[in-house]
Structure 1
Amino acid sequence: MSRVSFADRGRLIWYAMRRGLSHVAGRLAASRLLDLFRLGGRNERIAIAPQSLRTADPTRASEIYAGRFALAGKIVVCDGRSPFEMEAPTPDWAASLLGFGWLRHMRAAESAGARANARALVEEWIALQGGWNRVAWRPEIVSRRIVSWLSQASLILAEADVRFYRRFIRSLARQVRFLRWTAGDAQDGVPRLQAAIALTYAALCMTGQTRHLKRATKRLSAELDRQILADGGHVSRNPGALIELLADLLPLAQAFTSRNVAPPPALLNAVDRMMPMLRFFRHSDKTFALFNGMGPTAQDLLATILAYDDARGRPVANAIHSGYQRIEARDTVVLMDTGAPPPLAVSADAHAGCLSFELSSRQQRIVVNCGLPAAGKGNWRHLARATAAHSTVTFNQTSSCDFYDTRVMRRVFGTLIAGGPSRIAATRDADDHAEQVRVSHDGYADKFGVIHQRTVTLSADGRRLEGEDIFLPARGEALPAKLPDEFAVRFHLHPTIRVARVDDGHGVMLTLPNRDVWAFLAHEDRVDIEESVYLGGRTGPRRTVQLVIHGHARRAPRVEWTFAPLLMMAVIRVMCLPSVPDDRRG
């Protein structure tokens, strides 16, 4: 089902047409023929090479020298051919190859052979695809290649002769000209902001581009103001976007200083807002929560970025603009998605996970969302974005969001979220004993006449998480009698958790890797243990399980549950009222 309005559909079609036209104009602007009419082109040079914060592995240099390109989870062996002549196994592999981010591994090798090989590969690309290539000249990939070439300029140009230096500068200038024409029509969100960052890098680092610095800075400031929210989150609501953007923005601020130019206030303000949000999304094991397209956490890169944070303040608890809540007590952390889907144009990676939560304690993940893998995303994206892949409630086996998926639009934008929760009410209370978040959303109101309300309460000692899911009528005093009302309350578990069922069927024992034993109690409801998959690990998809409470909302409009260490759970059991018989379920 799609709820894209005619106005939104028209805007998408117009944007697709405009992007095609700007692509043609950019290709003309980047034509090699224009080099014949450019004055002073021979005097262009690289003034500074910005720092790269991304982790490098010198052992990868020998693999590249041998023609073995392991990128985006796929390996291509060139067997004497150029990698730019090989058929890409996946679009992600092609994007990684053509973005040249792998040059950092060759620089880390610190050998003459690695430098010569890097120079040869750049020269091959200029010869084979420097004039034009449909994939290589996509604005999103051009921006990554510009930043890679500039940051690795000392590697590429070391011991280079004058002829290669001039070819390299001319090619780089052509790519910058192309991006200047097409940056505004790059895919909205992170790719468009990265295009603005690349143009600013070029204006700072290349002597022939300095005259464009004012315009590039204005474009960058506008994108930062538009995309970085007041609480420091990104407009796409993807936590991983913060890591990717800060890896470029921090060296960019240093590049301004190196050129004796004051960084724009929008850049400094954005960085100051984003830094605390890095800590907001981190669990007790230092990995990011798996919301809205987040995959495996790049721990080394994250640690490097956090080293730039001088304040090191405690993260905020209520990220109201980004739509997330954080509850932290002692060694226990609860993170909860309490926001509406992002704007249509930046929703290609957003998930239907409203009111999902994750739980960790003493550096151990317990409850998770499925997440998205680092490689092979296309195989999992449809399943990973569904509500059922999140630790929340699904109604009648459907998602709380509608996905806009047509073949034509998918090629340009990906699969967008066309509709979902629009009215979300959140309140937060705390006292000396516990902290509580209560949230409701209307994602199922139009389909099934149901409002889902979830309350989570974490004790002050972090040893007990109590939850309550209530199903309220969206209109009138009762749930619609003629609409289906089947629900499933899901709790996906981290794959390192060992599970054992309690005899009465209302609880489950959870053994953590550190040998802590927690228990899950569903009080009046039966708990089923079902298969699941964890996609947020660095080693790829892993099998795991989920705890599921099935029922019918008209018969059981309230579900209560508790996570607690085993000894604490024994006390809770004694205090609970006798269980209602299982036949309360339909």
Structure 2
Amino acid sequence: MSPLGPFAGSEAPAPVSSSGEIPGLRGAPVRTPVRTSGPSTGPELWPAIAGRLVTRQMWIELYGLPGYGLTLRSGKAIAFAATPRDFRPCDGEVGKTLLGGRFTLAGSSLEAGTPADPWNRPSPNRAFATELHVFGWLPSLMVQGERGAREALRLTLSWWDLFARWSPFAWDPEILARRVINLSCAARKMGNVATEAERLRLADILGRQARQLLRPPGGLAGRAERLTAAAIGGSVLAGSTGSRLRRIALGRLGPALRVTVGPDGVHASRSPEAGLELLLDLMTLEDALGQLSETVPEAMGSAIARLTLALRDLTMTDGRLVSFQGGGPSTAARVAAARSHDGSREAPAPGPVGGYWRIQSPLLTVLTDTAGPGQGPWSATACAQALALEIACGRDRIVTGCGWTPRASDRQALRLTPGHSTLTLGDRSLGEPLGGWHADLLGPRLIARPLTVRVQHREADGAVWLEAEHDGWVATHGLLHERRLYLDQKLDELRAEERLHPAETGGPAVRPIAAPYAVRFQLEPGVQASLARDRRSILLRGHSGRGWWFRTDGPDVAIEPSVHVDDGLTRRALQIVVRGSARTDAETRVRWKLSPAGSSTDPH
């Protein structure tokens, strides 16, 4: 019997492709198509572009007026009422180096001297500047005791001296929301080491920024996050000032959460990491309300419960998240912190959640993206990677994606179809992000045709079938892509088939041609891959050292260099690429299999 089991392999020899180098855009995988002209913007975007052109300049002119800051003074906050807990794990080493005048943020460093003054000097890059202005350094500084609190107070007051007046970057809604949360969690401790004048000034600084979060612009995407931050700020400020802020923010938060969090708990952007971060923020707000002996609103409690269930089912066996639709894997500690309130501690359940399908056996866990990317404002972090999958073997994550997240904003090419483990056809992508002035106005939205995905699922004793098909290639090639997965739960063996076949109806007339295809399997950084002598089998070893055989009957199999984004930083990685040609007027099948090493059918 063929080692591919029911999917018999071809006997034709396959040449070995050279690995080559990564060309073109920095961070792009091998042979990634990147159009220099960018995606075409149809009439459907014109109203959004025109509206944004008008409103953006209007708000810049209004908020930039010399007296605008006075409108943010509504009442006088004189004390702090709560110390909400930030459930995110904190790296104290960042705070230690900061006390020595060295800021290490987003993979870059800045020597700011002693006492540190990072505000009036250029940042190494935009990612560093963003982390600096969201006060991402503040939690690690606060764990350094009284000295850390005093330095945090000094840096906060010196920031206000330079940036009290509204500016598009420092007061960007996303940056502002994160800064308000970080300040809120540290404000009371900073107030304990401050003079009376400094404490009053600190309360005023927090109150003004929290009020700004209740004002436009901001848009639909991120609205729940901004209102959560405003409510946390209102919970920290004592008296009528905080009470009014909290009441307004909580009143708007319920409708925003119903739009942002789906019935199954998946974030509207379909980014698992975005759901994780929103859950952590809501947990901080829940803690703040508890300190005030206030009841958690029903909509907020329901959203926390739904986000927690989705987080459980989107967690891989290594304790981290799946990397789909602009969401990175985060860290096991961060995921565990978000699940710390989950009393059930149930294992992830197989089945669908938010368009992701999970199938599993004792040693194999497979998650597949079986839905289209986010649309409209929710597509700013979306990726054109239909039917992408991730595979964990035991606790080793073996097959994954390139891990693009918004923190890697300069590597937009990784959002294209070749950036994940799926099939590409004709050196094209199923969609492309906006660039240039369009992106400056609307954000880097993904421009793609509507995608229809059909899913079938069956189970039998010791076996699971999952078949998913999308029509993304019909408009350009007249072909449907079907990915068939068969998981033998007794043997811990995954057998799969990629099928390209002509669409029966609904597609444009396409002349018969042979279109090149590539089925990519992006490997987790650190995974070792060795091509066997049969040129069709590859031995994979994860961090645990356990071996797994990947086999295919594709005509051209190669191990090529790739990249992987980890918390905004690019790491070297490998990818398995199966190439061939598919006729647009006929059916093409490519079969592959993943099984444990050590059996009698192992290649030599």
Q: Decide: shared fold, TM above 0.5.
A: yes
1:316 to partner: Cα distance? 4.1
In structure 1, what is the equivalent of residue 481 of structure 2? 452
Q: Verify: 1:6 aligned to 2:43, yes or no.
A: yes
Q: Is the 8 A contact 1:276 1:313 kept in 2?
A: no
In structure 1, what is the equivalent of residue 327 of structure 2? 294
In structure 1, what is the equivalent of residue 540 of structure 2? 510
Q: Which has the higher contact order (CA 8 A, sep 6+)?
A: 2
In structure 2, what is the equivalent of residue 241 of structure 1? 274
Q: Is the 8 A contact 2:526 2:573 kept in 1?
A: no
Describe how 1:197-276 pairs up with structure 2 within 5 A. Answer: 197-206=228-237, 207=239, 208-276=241-309
C-alpha distance in 2 between matches for 1:109 and 1:92 = 25
In structure 2, what is the equivalent of residue 55 of structure 1? 89
Say if 1:326 and 1:86 are closer, same or farther in 2 by CA, change over 3 A.
same
In structure 1, what is the equivalent of residue 563 of structure 2? 533
Q: Is the 8 A contact 1:115 1:155 kept in 2?
A: yes
TM-score normalised per structure 2:
0.87
Q: Larger deviation: 452-461 or 417-426?
A: 417-426
C-alpha distance in 2 between matches for 1:404 and 1:126 = 34
In structure 2, what is the equivalent of residue 352 of structure 1? 384
- Give 5+ residue unaligned stretches, structure 1: 574-586
Question: 420, 428, 450: which one pairs with 2:449?
Answer: 420
C-alpha distance in 1 between matches for 2:312 and 2:517 = 34
C-alpha distance in 2 between matches for 1:173 and 1:515 = 53
Q: Is the 8 A contact 1:529 1:546 kept in 2?
A: yes
C-alpha distance in 2 between matches for 1:335 and 1:527 = 23
C-alpha distance in 2 between matches for 1:30 and 1:492 = 53
Q: Is the 8 A contact 1:448 1:484 kept in 2?
A: no
Amino acid at match of 2:410: N
Q: Is the 8 A contact 1:532 1:546 kept in 2?
A: no
Aligned residues between the structures: 561
Question: 496, 507, 521: which one pairs with 1:467?
Answer: 496
In structure 2, what is the equivalent of residue 281 of structure 1? 314
1:374 to partner: Cα distance? 8.5
C-alpha distance in 2 between matches for 1:308 and 1:451 = 44
C-alpha distance in 2 between matches for 1:220 and 1:26 = 24
Q: Larger deviation: 24-33 or 322-331?
A: 24-33
Describe how 1:302-451 pairs up with structure 2 within 5 A. Answer: 302-319=335-352, 322-372=354-404, 377-380=408-411, 382-405=412-435, 407-451=436-480
C-alpha distance in 2 between matches for 1:170 and 1:123 = 11
- Give 5+ residue unaligned stretches, structure 2: 1-37
Q: Is the 8 A contact 2:72 2:212 kept in 1?
A: no
Residue aligned with 2:131, SS = helix
Report the aligned-residue RMSD.
2.6
Amino acid at match of 1:242: G
Amino acid at match of 2:499: I
Say if 1:393 and 1:569 are closer, same or farther in 2 by CA, change over 3 A.
farther
Q: Is the 8 A contact 1:530 1:548 kept in 2?
A: no
Say if 1:497 and 1:96 are closer, same or farther in 2 by CA, change over 3 A.
closer
Deviation readout 1:222-275 (Å, 9 max, x if unpaired): 111001111111111111112211111112112222222211111111111111
1:421 to partner: Cα distance? 4.7
In structure 2, what is the equivalent of residue 582 of structure 1? none
C-alpha distance in 2 between matches for 1:123 and 1:164 = 8
Say if 1:434 and 1:30 are closer, same or farther in 2 by CA, change over 3 A.
farther
Q: Larger deviation: 4-13 or 305-314?
A: 4-13
C-alpha distance in 2 between matches for 1:304 and 1:447 = 45
C-alpha distance in 2 between matches for 1:294 and 1:82 = 33
Q: Is the 8 A contact 2:72 2:211 kept in 1?
A: no
C-alpha distance in 2 between matches for 1:90 and 1:515 = 37
1:3 to partner: Cα distance? 5.8
1:210 to partner: Cα distance? 0.9
Question: 577, 580, 584: which one pairs with 1:547?
Answer: 577
Amino acid at match of 2:475: D
Q: Verify: 1:98 aligned to 2:129, yes or no.
A: no
Deviation readout 1:400-446 (Å, 9 max, x if unpaired): 224333x2221233321121352111111111131111111111111
Q: Verify: 1:494 aligned to 2:529, yes or no.
A: no
TM-score normalised per structure 1:
0.89
Amino acid at match of 2:529: V
Amino acid at match of 1:472: H
C-alpha distance in 2 between matches for 1:371 and 1:471 = 26
In structure 2, what is the equivalent of residue 577 of structure 1? none
C-alpha distance in 2 between matches for 1:403 and 1:129 = 32
